[in-house]
Amino acid sequence: MKKVMSFLILLSLFIPSVAAEEVSSDLAPNSKSAILLDASTKTILFKKNEQEKLAPASMTKVMSMLLIMEAIDNGSLSLDDDVTISENAASMGGSQVYLQAGETYKVKELLKGIAVASGNDAVVAMAEKISGTVSDFVARMNERAKELGAVNTHFVNPHGLDAEDHYTTAYDMALMAFELLKHPTILEYTSIYEDYLQKNDGSSIWLVNTNKLVRFYDGVDGLKTGFTATAGYCLTATAKKNNLRLISVVMGAETSDKRSSDTTSLLNYGFNTYKTHVVLTTKDSLGVKRVENGVVEQADIVLTQDYVKLLKQTDAKPNYSFNVSVDSLVAPLKKGDIVGKVSVVDETGSVIDTLDVTLKEDIPKVNWWQAFLKNLKHLTAGQILIK
């Protein structure tokens, strides 16, 4: 039977739980639909027709970039891998970086072409690199959307050119952007305002970010614009100020200026109204627990991820406590293993959050010689720990 350790850690922590209040005014009057999301807690701060199915245009590439980044992070793809451009990729119309069939580029060069210049040819080349065929890549896009809870989304292509049955919602786009931001390397590309793509023949293509707010709004470092005659002007944006990162989506604006205006309005509201507080990080110890058969006798207990709370700018700072319960620990154990839970308790005694806890570091199992030396040490103290 598992042994359970419970201990109460009383801390003066500034972590009131807030829910977004209804905003009386339309923060995105020029857009058919819009949403504003806190990227730390996923709290919706503003919404307008957020579940309406609309054409996303090149915002589609948010999902395409997500699959690219996931492939890079899982090791099946490298930024330095070569990609040979197919006839199919080179033939793509719309926004492009003018790739030629037979040319070879690094993944990182094509990713820049997608993130900065919205290259349809570049994203098709990456789709073929990852999945073999565009259709297989699109199938994975739709599968991944459902996994994220983006149930009102259906993709027909990886680039966003108008097509029947190709749609998403502002809410679903926010979910995809939230997931993409778990791969912060993407911001190294989406934050570029202008750069060059070096062609195989020695020439270069000037790339200018289609998201002008990257240059003109302090804190904006992504993510993706979109425009077609059907979709109108769209933008999924993200910005960070003072540890508060926001995600905004606007869809169906009549001009690029109106798209930028609505996005600016949403971001200004978010930054002026809310703030975040990092309550505990994964480096903060919640206490120690005895370990059996380990190379060390005690383990530091920590959170599996940082604990962040969203506050109003005018919020007071109440006290909270943590009640930690950890199962008995027997080595070998790895950092990341879920070994218990921590309950966050407010001043009324109510549990407001329950979080997973893990170990601060790996704890290998002792070998026979280490066990002998530990037993010898404790034997002299009249206690045998390892049997």
pLDDT mean across residues, the chain: 90
List, for residues 320-334, the tens digit of each pLDDT value. 899 999 999 999 999
Which DSSP helix (H) or strand (E) runs through 121?
helix 120-131
Catalytic residue among 33, 40, 95, 118: 118
Length of the chain equals 387
The pLDDT value recorded for residue 380 is 58
Annotated catalytic, 61?
A: yes
List, for residues 203-244, the tens digit of each pLDDT value. 999 999 999 999 999 999 999 999 999 999 999 999 999 999
The pLDDT value recorded for residue 277 is 84
The pLDDT value recorded for residue 16 is 36
Catalytic residue among 31, 33, 40, 58: 58
Cα angle 337, 342, 347; round to 5: 165
Catalytic residue among 47, 48, 61, 258: 61
The pLDDT value recorded for residue 173 is 98
Domains, the chain = 4-16+281-379 (2.60.410.10), 33-274 (3.40.710.10)
* Mean pLDDT in residue range 24-39: 95
DSSP string, 144-189: HHHHTT-TT-B-SSSS----TT-BB-HHHHHHHHHHHTTSGGGHHH
Q: Encoding tokens for residue 45? A: 């701060």
* Mean pLDDT in residue range 183-211: 96
Annotated catalytic, 58?
A: yes
